[in-house]
Amino acid sequence: MAASSVMQRATGFTQFLRIHGFSCGVSETRMALSVVAGGRFSDLEAIAMRWRIIYAKTPQQWAHFGTLFAAYFKVEGPRFRQTERLDLEGGEGRGHRVSAKNPLMVQPSARPLLAYSPDAGSPVSLALAPDLDYGSLKQWSRRAFRRWSHPRGIRRMPSSGRHMDWPKTISSGIRHAGEVVDWQRVRRRPQKLRIVLLLDVSGSMRPHVPFFLGLAWLWTRMGLRFSLFLSSSDVADATTALKRGRPGGKPLMESRALGGGTRLGHAFAWLWNQRRVAFDHRTIFLVASDGFDQGDLRLVMDYFPRFAQVVGRIVWMNPLLLETDYVPKAQALLAALPYCTEHVGVRDQVSWVSYVKTLIMA
């Protein structure tokens, strides 16, 4: 196959890899095209080895790449029989070879690659970010709270209620010789805004977790009814630990306690069954996650719509939304988006301020 033909099919190959669990996009496609356009690699096998470095980011992907390349470009002959460094079945010291007779017959891993991030499976530090401008964050957070409490188009409730405050009315009449001149009504007690943050602390969210923890720590000191829940394979209520923490201090807990991977459906089910009292019409439900999920999708489809029926607003803060040409394809995210009030790109202080400005101007 000529190099020009390979360049024409490179974009389709990127989409082909994404179907098979690879995380790749425009940047990887450009790098792959530059390899072919440079003319340094004219042989398909040489191109495949170079592209493997660009596209493959895990041992499983490294082992599968040769087979997928051969299947897509219709490579014939006993190619890609290179001994791999790691075995798919988890054995140590044994190489894995792809059969040349049937290149599509490979042993799958124990769990399919539903979605992948380069940081998947890496340890996550649950420490608060020490380098944030907390003074500026406090000002912009107050503006966001005011807008969440009183969105445009919704009339504020009057301060006085429907019921008469008879003790105050009688006292007022006594001061005016027994004549009632001022009818007192029971004043409404303004309910404080409640914010519930579900923070995904799996490996794919590792670069963004310190910022969200720092923002959550600030909110605990602003007189709000605030709750923080950390989600990975398991769920933990970190509200109490967050109040004891401080920026630059010790981590709130060990991330290993929550396991590896992501099970958003399990987290939604746990919140609904164990913390149902925290969700009412005054609740702002925030979900900070990239949407990658390795759990049961049916739990997301079953429980997430229930939150939309009882809370005032659902805001999904997705760090990947700030990436160029990003299109949500994670199944859990696609199942939840129809029930979200907002799907915004937030991952650091700059993006948070940008979101609040957009919220104010809307």
Give a yes or no: residue 205 inside a domain.
yes
**What whole-number percentage of the chain has pLDDT above 90?**
31
Tell me the pairing of strands 313-317 and 283-288: parallel
Q: Which helix (H) or strand (E) holds 172?
A: helix 166-174
Model confidence over 329-341: pLDDT tens digits? Answer: 888 899 999 999 9
**What whole-number percentage of the chain has pLDDT above 70?**
75
- Give the pLDDT of residue 106: 34
Q: Which of 19, 48, 73 is the last residue of a domain?
A: 73
- What's the total number of domains in the chain? 3
Model confidence over 125-144: pLDDT tens digits? Answer: 777 888 889 999 999 999 99
Please report the sign of the dihedral spanned by the C-alpha atoms of residue 226, residue 242, residue 122, residue 53.
positive
pTM of the model: 0.60
Please tell me the distance from the alpha carbon of residue 239 to that of residue 227, in angstroms, as a whole number: 5
Domain that holds residue 38: 3-73
DSSP 88: T
Q: Which helix (H) or strand (E) holds 160?
A: strand 160-164
102 shares a domain with 58: no
Model confidence over 157-192: pLDDT tens digits? Answer: 444 556 777 788 778 777 777 776 677 777 766 567
106 shares a domain with 60: no
351 shares a domain with 205: yes
Tell me the pairing of strands 160-164 and 225-231: unpaired
> CA dist 203 to 6, 27, 206, 233, Å?
34, 21, 5, 11
Amino acid letter for position 216: A
Please tell me the distance from the alpha carbon of residue 121 to that of residue 114, in angstroms, as a whole number: 14
pLDDT beyond 60 at 312: yes
Give a yes or no: residue 257 inside a domain.
yes
Q: Around Cβ 145, how many Cβ atoms within 10 Å?
A: 19
Give a yes or no: residue 348 inside a domain.
yes
90: left (phi over 0), alpha (psi -120 to 50) or beta: left
234 shares a domain with 350: yes
Q: Is 224 helix (H, G, I), strand (E, B) or coil?
A: coil
206 shares a domain with 58: no
252 shares a domain with 219: yes
Give a yes or no: residue 225 inside a domain.
yes
Q: What is the mean pLDDT of residues 44-72?
A: 79
Give a yes or no: residue 298 inside a domain.
yes
> Residue 315 contacts by C-beta under 8 Å, 6 or more apart in sequence?
284, 285, 286, 287, 340, 341, 342, 344
99 shares a domain with 30: no
Length of the chain: 362
Give a yes or no: residue 239 inside a domain.
yes
Query: Domain with 206 in it: what CATH number?
Result: 3.40.50.410
Give a yes or no: residue 141 inside a domain.
no
104 shares a domain with 65: no
354 shares a domain with 263: yes
- Give the pLDDT of residue 79: 37
